[in-house]
């Protein structure tokens, strides 16, 4: 978050950057700033590489409502079958 004194909370963790991007976009569309835990997002193997989504503590309750809505709207998607293309080279 932009303010170093702002207290943050982990909203959730998801198994892919794609899922994290969808949740972050939905939060931001609803006026809630969100960030992902970039320490794990570059790694691909294993359950320990899930991507955490963080929001300001003050926004946590509203963010949870939005997250539940996103889940219900996307529960039909089998993320293991989604082709997100090849990673971009830096």
pTM of the predicted structure, to 2 decimals: 0.68
User: Mean pLDDT score of the chain, rounded to an integer?
Assistant: 80
Query: Is residue 53 over pLDDT 90?
Result: yes
For residue 66, tell me if it sits in a domain: yes
For residue 47, tell me if it sits in a domain: yes
| Mean pLDDT of the 65-88 span | 75
Q: pLDDT value at position 34?
A: 95
How many independent structural domains does the chain possess? Answer: 1
For residue 2, tell me if it sits in a domain: no
Provide the pLDDT confidence category of residue 90 given band limits of 50, 70 and 90.
low
For residue 69, tell me if it sits in a domain: yes
Domain that holds residue 18: 8-74
| Mean pLDDT of the 17-46 span | 79
Q: What is the CATH number of the domain that holds 56?
A: 3.30.70.1530
Calpha distance 90→80 (Å, rounded): 25
């Amino acid at each position: 978050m932009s303010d170093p004194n702002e207290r943050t909370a982990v909203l959730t963790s998801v198994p892919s950057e794609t899922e994290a991007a969808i949740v972050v976009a939905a939060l931001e569309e609803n006026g809630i700033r969100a960030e992902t835990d970039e320490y794990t997002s570059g790694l691909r193997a294993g359950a320990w590489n899930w991507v955490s989504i963080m929001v300001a503590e003050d926004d946590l309750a509203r963010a949870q409502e939005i997250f539940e809505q996103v889940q219900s709207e996307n529960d039909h998607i089998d993320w293991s079958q989604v082709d997100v293309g090849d990673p971009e080279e830096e």
